[in-house]
Structure 1
Amino acid sequence: MEVFLLLYTHPFWAAGLVGAAYLLLLAIYRLWLSPIAHFPGPKLAALTLWYEFYYDTILHGQFTFEIARMHREYGPIVRISPYELHIDDPEYYEVLYSRDSPRNKYEYYVRQFGQPKAAFSAVEHSRHRLLRASMNPFFSLARIRRHEPKIQALADKLCKRLKEFQNTGKQIVIQHAYTCFTTDMVSEYVAGQEFHYLDSPDFMPQWCETLSGIAKAGVFFKPFPWLHSVMKCLPKSWVARVDAGMGLFFSFQQRCANLIQSIIDSENEQPGKSADNAPSHPAFFHEVLKSDLPPSEKSAERLSQEMLIVVAAGAETTAKALTWITFHLLDKPELLQRLLDELQRLDPSQTASLLQLEQMPYLNGVILEGLRLSYGISSRLPRIAPDRALHYKEWTIPPGTPVGMTSVFMHHNESVFPDSHRFMPERWLDIDTRKHLEKYMVAFSKGSRQCIGMNLAKSEMLLAISKVFREVKFELFETTVEDVTVAHELFLPFPKVGSKGVRVIIRS
């Protein structure tokens, strides 16, 4: 009785005792009673999400490498958090990322981007399937090929801009130029209007830094999603003064919203009239507005979120792959010469179409190897089987459990890709070997949620690589392999802190 009286007269003690009891019971549940308590892994990771926060936020993008250590210690399946499992087995990838069975996304993972209405962030399989059904036809290979003249024109423009730096001695961070190219291409394709970033005299380095910043910020927004609401409440002009990158992001966000509104207005205009700032031609979002989607999925807010995700993701990942390819070709001149020899032999007049470029073995080997070593999205991509158990070897994974796999682990599995850290286009040349290896190439993921922009990205890369290296003579400037080696994994792969990127000088 005296104990209750003491607690009643000392409420802070009472609150502390209740809190301690709650934490004790939570620890008991997570360690011994949870449906995934029997899976191997560090006990501290099973106890708290702060384990991931420490490795990703305090140690700056090291949780993926910690997961690799877990696999070395505990085996191919490990528990990496109170709720989530991770598998490192290339043979299981197509089971987890199934095309035929429903797979939900993990809300904890997708909320880091603050764009909950976009298809990329759709948690439920049914909603994602509905949205993708309206998007897939526009990103088919046949549809991309119809847009080939525009991709050709932008690749020519990229070459023209790079030639402006011939013999100036000025160093160019080549990823800045590639990001302008990919941004202009994606924005033109989905919205019918280029952003004209390739026209920027210095290739807009702040834009590339902004896209990288969006990816890096995810480690804060994932555990604290309410930060998105805080950011929205702050005056944008004030945030822009504090952080120029965030100011550019807000401008990008507003530009997406304005473009979507102009597309909606152009669809609603009477014949003979045109909306202000209307796109130059019908584009992807015109198709979405004409689709059978319910009105809520055609709102300006949802479509502007969709545009932001599609443009940002499509620009950054493709530009990284082009950058990685550029380094490796310049670092190994014999590989570049072999590529140039093939292009000269099969396309002496430099008029090859996309269809013809797709048939060139070494060119495609270069692109596949660049995609393999740049990973696409380098973080794990958790999936949930909502209504059935998954089975991995002797393990039964309960329904509703997030399970992830990682492209970095897939692409560096030595049993699949021997000497995996080496850039070797020739590993893709044999037709049967290529078919086998493509099963394990997951830069665009696989299954029903595979990257929708895969065909556009490959087409951009084919045309850019086939043109740029024939028309522009590059020379690396104070760049080493460390500048294209992942040292920090923050949704996208980043090199060591202090890296100045892949820098080149243009010669005549």
Structure 2
Amino acid sequence: MGVLAPLWDHLILVLVLSLVLYQVALVIYRLYFSPLAKFPGPKLAAASLWYEFYYDVWLEGQYTFKIRELHKVYGPIIRISPHQLHVYDPAFYEELYSQHKVRHKYKYFLDRFQLPLSGFGSIDHKLHRDRRAALNKYLSKQTVARLEPMLLDMLDKLCGRIEEFREKGEKLNMRIVYQCFITDVITLYALNRSWNHLDSPNFSPLWVETIAETVKMGHLLTQFPIIFPIALGLPRWFLQITKPGFALLMDFRKAIEVDTKNIIEGNYKFDPDKGNGLQDTIVHALLESDEIPPSEKEYPRLFEEAFVIIGAGSDTVSNMLTNTHFHLLDNPQLLKTLRDELKEAMPDRYARANLKDLEALPFLNAVANEGLRLSYGVSTRLPRISPYESMTYKNWEIPAGTPVSMTSIHIHQDPTIFPSP
């Protein structure tokens, strides 16, 4: 062993030096020889993903706002990582997210939650469109109109719960309330089994924490996607001790796994005699559809689609309702105008609302649209790739295969589109 010790020391030294030289060479290539080297932006961002890591993981999602600052310094198109560009110009939106050109998604961005079989997680342009098309009719305006009785029942329950707290003089966190309301609606429509968070005495703050932790972990999992499959194999008690957010995420996945398997096994079906559930729900419809191949009806695929629908849908819509609620309370005159319009359209305050009548109210629609604008949907950047041909932005030619992103917050707050945003 004494003879081999110098050899081992030498080998370790060679490996360390090789690694250092490789990293130096990689940085030099990225800064000076990469096809993206010509694009403006901070050198640290071009050299390493650790720049993105610092703002998105260490500072918890602040890269979106840092990117906006960088655009003020470097211009409307910048390099935000060794591999990715970002554009801050509403005029480029239709080109980047074109409905008529091939646009793949970015694997690096999608690998965070390991959902490649869902429409959200489908990288290929055509595959994504096919999977989205299978869902479109269940998310259309006509379908929502058919859900009106169910929505009104849920609203009655929501108003009843709010009234309980009002009579007791207790405060309510409306973020939790709306999250529970929307989740109950979505789970009933997706799975034909509502999770009934509105029935919980204090609503379900743990559920809201689950969604918040899931979103928060997204940045870390983007940088290190290997963490997720490792976490799936660890016992829950260990996750609860080391990273409680992962334990909540595993519980979320487990609940949808159980519900999806029950649907495949023939449970949760609509029974007109008992009046339970809905006649047409999303996962049931996909399972029974004649328009999609058998491979798209298998358990892993249906589970992943349900996971995305429930997770993304409940968070984005409840966030919109919460923000709209806040801004109305913060602007009493706007709240009065809305109430006056509703009183005129619905003189009987206890009568059930009619969706068609509500759609005809201009100020209510303006409030809803402004609430959507201030909620942003997905607040992070959404990369797209033109795989076969280059894209052109002003005098810049963007090489084919380059991930390019824009950010909804930047568009929704652009004063050239929305004065005094």
- Please report the TM-score for the alignment, with normalisation by the length of structure 1: 0.77
Tell me the secondary structure at the aligned position of residue 403 of structure 1.
Answer: strand
Q: Deviations over 1:372-421 (max 9, x none)?
A: 1111110000011111111111111111111100111111111111111x
Counterparts in 2 of 1:268 and 1:52: CA distance versus 1, 3 Å:
closer
- 1:69 offset after TM fit, Å? 1.3
1:378 corresponds to: 379
1:176 corresponds to: 176
- 1:351 offset after TM fit, Å? 4.0
1:79 corresponds to: 79
Matches of residues 306-385 of structure 1 in structure 2 within 5 Å? Answer: 306-349=305-348, 350-385=351-386
Matches of residues 289-304 of structure 1 in structure 2 within 5 Å? Answer: 289-291=287-289, 292-304=291-303
Q: Which moved more, 1:285-294 or 1:198-207?
A: 285-294
- What is the count of residue pairs matched by the alignment? 410
Q: Distance in 2 between matches of 1:71 and 1:98?
A: 23
Q: Distance in 1 between matches of 2:245 and 2:62?
A: 24
Matches of residues 479-490 of structure 1 in structure 2 within 5 Å? Answer: none
Whether contact under 8 Å (1:206, 1:245) holds in the other structure is: no
Counterparts in 2 of 1:268 and 1:193: CA distance versus 1, 3 Å:
closer
Tell me the secondary structure at the aligned position of residue 397 of structure 2.
Answer: strand
2:281 corresponds to: 283
- 1:99 offset after TM fit, Å? 1.2
- 1:244 offset after TM fit, Å? 5.3
2:420 corresponds to: 419
- 1:118 offset after TM fit, Å? 1.4
1:460 corresponds to: none
1:99 corresponds to: 99
Q: Distance in 2 between matches of 1:19 and 1:237?
A: 37
Tell me the secondary structure at the aligned position of residue 19 of structure 1.
Answer: helix
1:475 corresponds to: none
Q: Deviations over 1:31-89 (max 9, x none)?
A: 11111110100111001101000111122221111111110000000000000000000
Counterparts in 2 of 1:71 and 1:314: CA distance versus 1, 3 Å:
same
1:23 corresponds to: 23
Counterparts in 2 of 1:246 and 1:33: CA distance versus 1, 3 Å:
closer
- 1:296 offset after TM fit, Å? 2.7
Tell me the secondary structure at the aligned position of residue 381 of structure 2.
Answer: coil
1:42 corresponds to: 42
Whether contact under 8 Å (1:257, 1:304) holds in the other structure is: yes
Tell me the secondary structure at the aligned position of residue 405 of structure 1.
Answer: strand
1:253 corresponds to: 253
Counterparts in 2 of 1:7 and 1:91: CA distance versus 1, 3 Å:
farther
Q: Distance in 1 between matches of 2:155 and 2:207?
A: 19
Q: Distance in 1 between matches of 2:115 and 2:59?
A: 26
- 1:255 offset after TM fit, Å? 1.8
Whether contact under 8 Å (2:77, 2:88) holds in the other structure is: yes
- 1:279 offset after TM fit, Å? 5.9
For structure 2, the 5+ residue unaligned runs are: 1-5
Tell me the secondary structure at the aligned position of residue 166 of structure 2.
Answer: coil
Q: Distance in 2 between matches of 1:198 and 1:8?
A: 64
Q: Distance in 2 between matches of 1:29 and 1:294?
A: 45
Q: Which amino acid is 2:303 matched to?
A: S
- 1:13 offset after TM fit, Å? 2.2
1:264 corresponds to: 264
Q: Percent identity?
A: 42
Q: Displaced runs of 4+ in structure 1, greater than 6 A?
A: 6-9
- 1:185 offset after TM fit, Å? 0.5
2:393 corresponds to: 392
Counterparts in 2 of 1:153 and 1:336: CA distance versus 1, 3 Å:
same
Q: Which amino acid is 2:317 matched to?
A: T
2:63 corresponds to: 63
- 1:157 offset after TM fit, Å? 0.9
- 1:241 offset after TM fit, Å? 5.6
Q: Deviations over 1:166-202 (max 9, x none)?
A: 1423221111010010000111111111110110111
Tell me the secondary structure at the aligned position of residue 165 of structure 1.
Answer: helix
Whether contact under 8 Å (2:192, 2:268) holds in the other structure is: no
Matches of residues 197-276 of structure 1 in structure 2 within 5 Å? Answer: 197-240=197-240, 245-266=245-266
- Aligned Cα root-mean-square deviation (Å): 2.3
Q: Which amino acid is 1:399 matched to?
A: A
The question of 1:186 aligning with 2:186 is answered yes
- 1:348 offset after TM fit, Å? 2.1
Matches of residues 355-504 of structure 1 in structure 2 within 5 Å? Answer: 355-420=356-421
Q: Which amino acid is 1:151 matched to?
A: L
Tell me the secondary structure at the aligned position of residue 164 of structure 1.
Answer: helix
- 1:23 offset after TM fit, Å? 1.6
Tell me the secondary structure at the aligned position of residue 344 of structure 1.
Answer: helix
Q: Which amino acid is 2:195 matched to?
A: F
For structure 1, the 5+ residue unaligned runs are: 1-5, 421-508
Q: Distance in 1 between matches of 2:204 and 2:94?
A: 39
Q: Distance in 2 between matches of 1:244 and 1:8?
A: 41
Whether contact under 8 Å (2:189, 2:278) holds in the other structure is: no
- 1:140 offset after TM fit, Å? 1.4
Greater length-normalized contact order (CA 8 Å, ≥ 6 residues apart): 1
2:88 corresponds to: 88
Q: Distance in 2 between matches of 1:47 and 1:203?
A: 47
Tell me the secondary structure at the aligned position of residue 252 of structure 1.
Answer: helix
- Please report the TM-score for the alignment, with normalisation by the length of structure 2: 0.92
Counterparts in 2 of 1:279 and 1:251: CA distance versus 1, 3 Å:
farther
